A and B are shown apart, each in its own frame.
Chain A
């Protein structure tokens, strides 16, 4: 089992709809979770971090964490074509002091 798993997609969402990206992780003791956005040919950019169970909202982005289910998700409301990118889930595995990344989900917003 991979430490961090994401559906590689591609995920296609119409403009203005909600895009939902999911991630599961294997280490039950993990405490810190991150979402990065990566445009084609560019480096990853941190867009959200979440440390506690529940929802965390930042503008059009909402991160959701459920530690009991070992599941973290990212919702993008009112999706825009500029949101088209690969979204990487990253988990700070307990005690590892490093980020472990999923393979990323490629999201396409269709005008």
Chain B
């Protein structure tokens, strides 16, 4: 049973560029959340997708956007990258919208130079 898978695992981008990160949820899970984890900090909630709609959003600017596809996979897009966007981006999947018992993928390490 595949867990949450994310791609790419590592990437380097230049300030001002755009990036797309991808996630496939754990089998049987239909809800996907994205978190940003800066070095030395806990993960911070970006947004949550269910039935192809954004259901919850954290305190992140509109430069952060996402999408969920009919097969429940999801993308996180970040436009106009800033140095401060350098972080580990974690995708998490769950069985429902409750926010409980989420399972993380291995993450995508983004470095903005």
Contacts and interface: CB of A to CB of B under 8 A. Distances in A.
Which interface class (under 10, 10 to 19, 20 to 34, 35 or more) fits B?
A: 20 to 34
Given A43-B107, A45-B104, A98 B56 contact: yes
Interface string B33-47: 101000011111100
Interface of B is mostly: loop
Interface stretch (A13-21, A58-66, A76-84, A101-109): A101-109
Given A88-B42, A97-B48, A103-B40, A43 B105 contact: yes
A11 interface: no
| Chain A, interface residues (CB within 8 Å), range | 20 to 34
B106 A99 contact: no
Nearest to A99: B99
B82 interface: no
Contacts, number: 61
B45 A98 contact: yes
Contacts of B42: 4, 6, 88, 90, 101-104
Nearest to B90: A43
Given A49-B100, A49-B101, 14 more contacts: A8-B40, A36-B104, A43-B107, A44-B43, A44-B90, A92-B98, A92-B100, A97-B48, A97-B98, A98-B45, A98-B48, A99-B102, A103-B40, A103-B42
Closest 7 CB pairs of A and B: A101-B42, A97-B99, A43-B104, A98-B99, A43-B107, A98-B45, A92-B99
